Structure 1
Amino acid sequence: MIAIPTPLTRWLPLVTAAFILAGCAALPTGGDRGGPVDRAAAAASRGEPSQASVLYEQAAQASSEPRRSPLYLRAAEAAVAAGDGERAQQLLDQVDANSLGAEDEARLVTAELRAEVAGLPPAQALEHITPPSAGASPLVAARTWSLRAELLFEAGRIVDGVHALVQRSVWLLEPRAVRNNDERIWDRLRAAQSPEQDRSALAGADAITRGWVELAGIAGQVTPDREALTRDLQAWEQRHPGHPATRHILPERLGYQPMSPDMPGDGGRGARVVGLALPLSGQFEGAAGAVRDGFLAGYYEESTPRADVRVYDTNRQRDMAAVIDQARSDGVGILVGPLGKEQVTDLAEMPRLPMPVLALNYRDGADQFPGFYQFGLAPEDEARAVADRAAAEGWRRAIALVPDGDWGQRVLGAFEEALYYAGGNLVDYATYDTSQNDHAEPIKRVLKYTGVREGQAREVATGPDGEPIERGRRQDVDFVFLAAQPSHARLIRTQLRFYRASRLPVLATSHAFTGQVDPDRDIDLNGLMFADMPWVLSRRDVPRLAQIAERWPDDADRYPRLFAMGLDAWRLAARIRAGEMRAGDLFEGATGELYLEPDGQIRRRLDWGKFSRGKPKPIEPARPNDGFIPVNAGQNGT
């Protein structure tokens, strides 16, 4: 270790002043050039945070929302830089978080952390500022890792500080920010004295961190000539192919032109940079964030040397061509994403992709090409799973209830086709209106419900197999296929019982279950069987999944299916990088048993659950019924 721990008041003025100045351009303008805001920014740049805090507070007091709260936030940041945590907290109490934009919300979180630890020695402050969870916003996570890095550097833990900045780079969305982070790592290492001597920290570090430390050691050596330095750098690059330092540090700081890292067209083998392209802002940021969190969970769970990850917000780019250009310039060897169907189609129609792509959705039609994979949570896969389960149970005559619209027709079409090829038949179906809370009419129509005459309800009739027959509805079907969201599934299941179909098995897609156990609300689903993924049904029972769920509890439960999709996306990308994706191979994933089809689409085989006392319980796969008529027998009718 090379530094003696000192109170935070030594380093906070430098760090926080930079954050204050970085945020000045984002402040709402008030047309007061030369006023308190400009004078405050000037004071911060001169290293006078106390004066800057007073001036920002004066500007805030003279302002109204939405300008007022950002100014109080800058005043608090400056107070922290001056080492006055108590004053900073008083100023933060004046901030209305509802008046802040996304960037200022992230500044507020880190300002509160800084105020909390102001005056504490770094080692003690680190106990309060823990690594961000995967569920944090990218802005908050990047700032938290930055703050931890400064604390670690000040505590003399150089290798751990570099590791914190390496983790920070995962959350940075702008290329300029990534470049600045690389330069910050390099400057910190060059200012340190032999960080490679910290053997214990270096032994436990990730491959990217070790590469940075080794490179700094090479640059600090006294070499006899330029040729010797070049040989050392070539050997380093062979040990660390695709390392982030090859982007700018090698050519600009060391005058060395790196060899071409991960050339496109190699199937991603050995790619040291993986790109993740998701709509992390806008309408679908919640869903995209869950996929990102699962992806990062897979990243952190990786035991072998991990690739560097670059994250791209597809809503901040003009189009997918711009994303591809940026990824190529960043040395990305494989791109995961995008999430939207239209963007996947745009990507697939480009003349030539410079890298393999694992798209997180499926495009419609058209030929596929090598290096373009498609993976998603397609409802059609679940409809096919229902048909397969019915075939295994020996049920071959079905009626279906699906919602109005394109989604319902897609699911119905996939189910009917799969059931036909399994030797079964869709006898009838009905659609229901999702804007209504009573689906009696379509249910009665598809059941051919005739009602029960007085006295019939007490009579017990039996069929050829000796099983009781429910009077008043059709008897020529074996089961019901249901595609419905939870609220409609509960209602339809209840109304099926009311209209004399309580003994008719109901098989559904995963959409019938929220993913959150709620026996009070789901008691109406008792008896319903549904296809779903291992992460939802069995993650507490499967050791590998249970371990991840324990480490990421909030993310595992918030958007469980999307989190699992991100987790599998990381593992699929790793298999593609290793050249281990072959058509027909089975792969145990969090979203199901995965397999690659010849056209590049990755499909899922699902697990099954059944509701009992309002709770979903995993059930064993059904054994094929020996009496079930296979499709090649040519008998598909009822």
Structure 2
Amino acid sequence: MNNFINQSNKLLSFALIVLLLQGCGPQTRQSSLSSASNQQNLEYLLKQAQKADPDRKSALLVQASGLLVLERRFEKSQELLIRVNQQLLTPDQMDDFHLYYGETLLGLEANEASLNQLKTIVSPTAKPIHWQLRYAQSLSDSYLANGNYFEAAKLRIELDDLIDDAEVLRANNEKIWQALSEIETDFLQQLITDFNSQRMNGWLEIVYINKRWGYHPQKLLSEIDTWKKRYPLHPSQVNQPATLQKAVAAEEYKPQRIAVLLPLSGKNASIGMMIQDGIIAAHYQSDSANVAPKLSFYDTARSLSALTPYQQAIDDGADFVLGPLTKESLETVLNQESLPVPMLALNRMEEQRYNHPQVFQFGLPVEDEAIQSAHRAFEKGYRKAIAFLPDNTVGKRAEETFREYFEQMGGELVEVQKYKDAKSLKTEVQHLLGVDSSMRRKKSLQQLLGRNLEFEMRRRQDADFIFMIASPAMGRMIKPFINFYYAHDLPVIATSMVYSGKKKPQTDIDLNGIEFPDIPLLLSELPDFEQTRTVLKETQPQALDARGRFFALGFDSYRILNQLAILKAFPEYRWNGLAGELAVDELGLVHRFLTWAQFNRGIPNVTKEREIKQLETQANIEQDKLEPQSSNIN
């Protein structure tokens, strides 16, 4: 019997070694030297374990598991560790066992079990410094995974004096920042006490400042400056976390001469001139309009290539460019190898394949509204969608974006029906709602039975709502068809295209029930926007219909341009403008967060308006500032 057991153990050891050696290559790219060294050590340990006596074998398997953890081979590490006879390990070896098992379980996302293993370690201070570092880092990561963020950060902060490698220090500081950033803002403030070390309080304060003032960049930068004076030698200043680096490095643009590239003649002249009106209005709204940058306008429609007015603007001394507007013009400029001055384009490319760190893109893309429609539907509990979209590039872009984000959240786009013109709307709505199938079944039964049948038409039941893109005129035809075909109770979420921008209760009554997002200038019920609409009604009434979206684009583009680098450093921040709450992502794309409304008796009533989180709004227009106060426009 003993011979059988011994023979079985030998076979098991051999099989285990073969299994490990088949899959010991690293899963992450390490240096070839380090990987080869680990591989050689692992092979050596496993060969030694194969021929070692039971006492020695368990210790060798523990050492091998530690190497497997470094290779992130957690399942293989666990296979070794469960075969270790813990009773044969010394106390020192048991600490190794608990460390490697804790790391293994953490890698397998068994977070609570991982923490239990790591907290079982008896004498970490008796180990070499590199072991203590590994132990403290793993224990911190386990605390973090288990939601004990303060303990996770505390361990990392205490490691600072033990680390002498700059890259390791930087990574350690990132972990501290990550852990403390998970703590609620108010609780962070409560943790700042005299019982802590100055180093600990410095960390708590800087993360608190970032969370407290993250929606107000200027105040944040001011608070950071004050903090730096209180903690001049703090580790987070020496090896700054990435978030703090971006915050400290962010600076306002302060242009002296702004070149605006717009089509002011030709087929896009009406759009270009409306954007121009918005830019000029914003220029005169500035508190320092008398010393404001000089504005120079260049008509891109007068040149065969957008590069001609762009280069002329640079030659004229422009240190900031607004525009161009069309995607063709924008692509022409972005294809240049380098761009000498910052630029805020007034459109957005679908593909971001350009490497110009000082280029920002701000437009009115349907993608923003498709994403927000997906989020709006999901927050209302809708999980299955059908879509009714125009058969054109806008419909295609909206479908792709909506599908991606809605399904990413866990929803399902069940069917997409495209339409081309008003003539075919009836048939296409029938197909969308599945009533054409119901009608075909009726016809087949009547033919089979040879007589007319009483019939109750039924629509499909597998959808929670309809996502729709349509002009006001098309929407007024589509929604009655939807109601007629027994889908009056099926919610419809549309884009801003469905709203003309003006309240027309008699004609828009056919749009009742449709919910849509649009710019606050046209919808918001907040006092600043109502005051702005009152002013514009007297001075620029054309800005209060659908054209107002382009007026808002121009107005906001001028008001936001000096803040762009700061907003890019703080992507969670929302800047309140006429075109929506604006945020800038790491690619320099400006995203709009819109106001939601629903037609009721032909009038859009606000259903959702985001809370303003900053200390002041930039959306207010004052009438006495619409008169020219400076002559620095040409």
Quick check: 1:382 aligned with 2:369? Answer: yes
- Distance apart, 1:438 and its partner CA: 4.2
Quick check: 1:498 aligned with 2:464? Answer: no
CA distance in 2, matches of 1:332, 1:371: 15
Match of 2:355 in 1: 368
Quick check: 1:277 aligned with 2:261? Answer: yes
Match of 1:427 in 2: 414
- 1:37-61 Cα distance to aligned partner (Å, 9 max, x none): xxxxxxxxxxxxxxxxxxxxxxxxx
- Distance apart, 1:374 and its partner CA: 0.4
- Alpha-carbon distance change, 606 to 307 in structure 1, aligned in 2, over 3 angstroms: same
The aligned runs of 1:386-405 (5 Å cut-off) are 386-405=373-392
- 1:329-358 Cα distance to aligned partner (Å, 9 max, x none): 222111000000011111111111111010
- Alpha-carbon distance change, 274 to 408 in structure 1, aligned in 2, over 3 angstroms: same
- Distance apart, 1:319 and its partner CA: 2.2
The structure in which a higher percent of residues are helix is 2
Does structure 2 retain, via aligned residues, the 8 Å contact 1:314–1:323? yes
State which of 498, 506, 517 in structure 2 corresponds to 1:520: 506
- Alpha-carbon distance change, 348 to 622 in structure 1, aligned in 2, over 3 angstroms: closer
State which of 529, 541, 562 in structure 2 corresponds to 1:574: 562
CA distance in 1, matches of 2:301, 2:413: 42
CA distance in 1, matches of 2:263, 2:525: 27
Quick check: 1:308 aligned with 2:294? Answer: yes
State which of 485, 493, 513 in structure 2 corresponds to 1:507: 493
Match of 2:549 in 1: 561
Provide the identity percentage.
32
Task: State how many pairs are aligned.
Answer: 345
Kindly provide the amino acid, as one letter, of the partner of residue 552 in structure 2: A
State which of 399, 407, 424 in structure 2 corresponds to 1:412: 399
- Distance apart, 1:566 and its partner CA: 0.8
CA distance in 2, matches of 1:595, 1:508: 22
CA distance in 1, matches of 2:317, 2:525: 35
- Distance apart, 1:577 and its partner CA: 8.1
State which of 317, 321, 332 in structure 1 corresponds to 2:303: 317
Kindly provide the amino acid, as one letter, of the partner of residue 284 in structure 1: N
State which of 536, 540, 543 in structure 2 corresponds to 1:549: 536
Kindly provide the amino acid, as one letter, of the partner of residue 419 in structure 1: F
- Alpha-carbon distance change, 360 to 448 in structure 1, aligned in 2, over 3 angstroms: same
The aligned runs of 1:41-52 (5 Å cut-off) are none
Match of 2:596 in 1: 608
Where 1:609 maps in the other structure, the secondary structure is strand
Where 1:500 maps in the other structure, the secondary structure is helix
Match of 1:296 in 2: 280
State which of 340, 345, 349 in structure 2 corresponds to 1:359: 345
Displacement over 6 Å in runs of 4+: 452-457, 577-581
CA distance in 1, matches of 2:298, 2:507: 39
Taking structure 2 as the reference length, what is the TM-score of the superposition?
0.51
Match of 2:328 in 1: 342
Kindly provide the amino acid, as one letter, of the partner of residue 536 in structure 2: A
Kindly provide the amino acid, as one letter, of the partner of residue 398 in structure 1: A
The aligned runs of 1:130-529 (5 Å cut-off) are 269-304=253-288, 305-365=291-351, 366-434=353-421, 436-449=422-435, 450=438, 472-529=458-515
Does structure 1 retain, via aligned residues, the 8 Å contact 2:569–2:586? no
- Distance apart, 1:455 and its partner CA: 7.0
- Alpha-carbon distance change, 429 to 384 in structure 1, aligned in 2, over 3 angstroms: same
Does structure 2 retain, via aligned residues, the 8 Å contact 1:375–1:601? yes
Where 1:332 maps in the other structure, the secondary structure is coil
Where 2:459 maps in the other structure, the secondary structure is coil
- Distance apart, 1:511 and its partner CA: 0.5
Where 1:420 maps in the other structure, the secondary structure is helix
CA distance in 1, matches of 2:567, 2:509: 47
- Distance apart, 1:557 and its partner CA: 2.1
- Alpha-carbon distance change, 582 to 357 in structure 1, aligned in 2, over 3 angstroms: farther
Kindly provide the amino acid, as one letter, of the partner of residue 425 in structure 2: H
- Distance apart, 1:536 and its partner CA: 1.4
Does structure 2 retain, via aligned residues, the 8 Å contact 1:545–1:590? no
- Alpha-carbon distance change, 571 to 580 in structure 1, aligned in 2, over 3 angstroms: farther
CA distance in 2, matches of 1:561, 1:390: 24
Where 2:387 maps in the other structure, the secondary structure is strand
Where 2:423 maps in the other structure, the secondary structure is coil
Question: Any stretches of 5+ residues in structure 1 without a counterpart?
Answer: 1-265, 458-470, 624-638
- Distance apart, 1:317 and its partner CA: 3.0
Where 1:344 maps in the other structure, the secondary structure is helix
Where 1:437 maps in the other structure, the secondary structure is helix
Where 2:486 maps in the other structure, the secondary structure is coil
CA distance in 2, matches of 1:399, 1:350: 42
Kindly provide the amino acid, as one letter, of the partner of residue 281 in structure 2: A
Quick check: 1:598 aligned with 2:577? Answer: no
Kindly provide the amino acid, as one letter, of the partner of residue 574 in structure 2: L
- Distance apart, 1:523 and its partner CA: 0.8
- Alpha-carbon distance change, 382 to 589 in structure 1, aligned in 2, over 3 angstroms: same
CA distance in 1, matches of 2:535, 2:569: 24
After TM superposition, the structure 1 stretch with the greater mean CA deviation from structure 2, 521-530 or 550-559, is 550-559
After TM superposition, the structure 1 stretch with the greater mean CA deviation from structure 2, 595-604 or 278-287, is 595-604
Match of 1:49 in 2: none
- Alpha-carbon distance change, 577 to 367 in structure 1, aligned in 2, over 3 angstroms: closer
State which of 551, 573, 578 in structure 2 corresponds to 1:585: 573
- Distance apart, 1:267 and its partner CA: 7.8
- Distance apart, 1:361 and its partner CA: 0.8
Q: CA RMSD in A?
A: 2.6
Kindly provide the amino acid, as one letter, of the partner of residue 591 in structure 1: A
